A = this chain, B = another copy of it.
Amino acid sequence: MVSLLDVARAAHVSKMTVSRVLNHPDQVSPEIIADVQQVIAELGYVQNRAGRALANNRHYNIAFILLDDINEIEPYYAHLLMHLTDELRHAGYTLEMRHDRNFDLTNVDGFLVSGARGSDFELLQSLTVPVVIYGTEPGIPSVDIDNKAGTQLATNALLDAGYARLIYLGIDMSEPFAINREVGYRDAMLTAGRTTEIYHLPNDEHAAQAFLADLNLCGNTGIVAATDRLGLGALRAGRSQGLTVPTDLGIVGFDGIYIHQLAELPLTTIQQPLATIAQHMVALLMKQLAGETVTSVYVVPELLHGATTA
């Protein structure tokens, strides 16, 4: 491997001059910068991260910790990961994948965390390196979509479409996002002077389908689903009961990365803007690495119009 010294010799300067060209070009004369850069290109020199890490006490490496169970990983995590990889690379950092609770900070400059639950938060809060979580937790810098605004959007879309009955299909409320999504529906309904109708199910399309089959939907009904999985189940329940979507039955899902496209009809959904989320996550991390204090960011999602709303 070609080292700084190799470049220095080839360019007839000292190591430090080459180092400065890379890190403090303002301190080097223009001609030498040009020379050195040419040699760097010719030799295909790439900085050795280990040497840099040792000298700077930085590792240029961020651990992305995906704590969700491997069998419950939703497809959109792959997208979040890709975007985070891009953003970190752009910022000069590397993304190291982890999916255990190894918060060892000897070889990383910070953590990006997804899928953290109750007991993880204390741990994260006690860390001495920057942390950004995907989700919501007071006291920890985080990026999340505004889940409440999302279901408000969904609910209002169905209200505007004029459905007589407007049901919320929710999931287990142990996670903040589930609570906020339900609150969004409640608020929108309250504001519209409408009566809420809320059910909680496991996040499973078969469960939703079975549940709605028993509920006897009778047309002119809108469903705000807490997830696309539930929305998918609602779509199937409606169709198997002979309802026409979206005329008799309107559905808005939530997440919008993969499932909504696989449905029999493309689901109208509230889409997670994962590229934007990744940008904010990395930006918050970089600010912390620069010594700034940061506050959490909430991104307002958008309604992605499919075929399950008019």
For residues 235 through 277 of chain A, which have their beta carbon under 8 Å from a beta carbon of chain B? 236, 258-259, 262, 264
Q: Nearest Cβ in chain B — how far from A209, in angstroms?
A: 9
Which residues of chain B are near A59, meaning CB under 8 Å? Answer: 49-50
- The segment out of A91-99, A135-143, A280-288 that lies at the interface is A91-99
Q: Is A79 an interface residue (CB 8 A)?
A: yes
For residue A66, CB closer than 8 A to chain B, the reply is yes
Cα distance, A97 to B278, chains bound together (Å): 15
Q: Are B48 and A106 in touch, CB under 8 angstroms?
A: yes
- Mark A40-54 against chain B: 1 for CB-CB distance below 8 A, else 0: 000000111111011
Q: List B contacts of A97 (CB < 8 A).
A: 64, 81, 85, 95-97
Is there contact, CB below 8 Å, between A49 and B95?
no
B73 and A86 contacting across the interface, CB-CB below 8 Å:
no
* A46 adjacent to B82 (CB under 8 Å): no
Contacts of A146 in B (CB 8 A): none
Q: Kindly state the separation between the CA atoms of A61 and B258 in the bound complex, as whole angstroms.
A: 31
Segment 94-142 of A: residues with Cβ below 8 Å from B:
94-100, 104-107
B residues near A106, Cβ cutoff 8 Å: 1, 46-49
The list of the 5 closest CB pairs from A to B, nearest first, reads A50-B53, A75-B75, A46-B106, A50-B50, A78-B78
Taking A61-B96, A97-B97 as known contacts, 14 extra A-B pairs with beta carbons closer than 8 A to each other, sorted by chain A number, are A1-B105, A46-B104, A46-B106, A47-B106, A48-B106, A49-B107, A64-B97, A81-B81, A81-B97, A86-B99, A232-B262, A258-B258, A259-B262, A262-B262
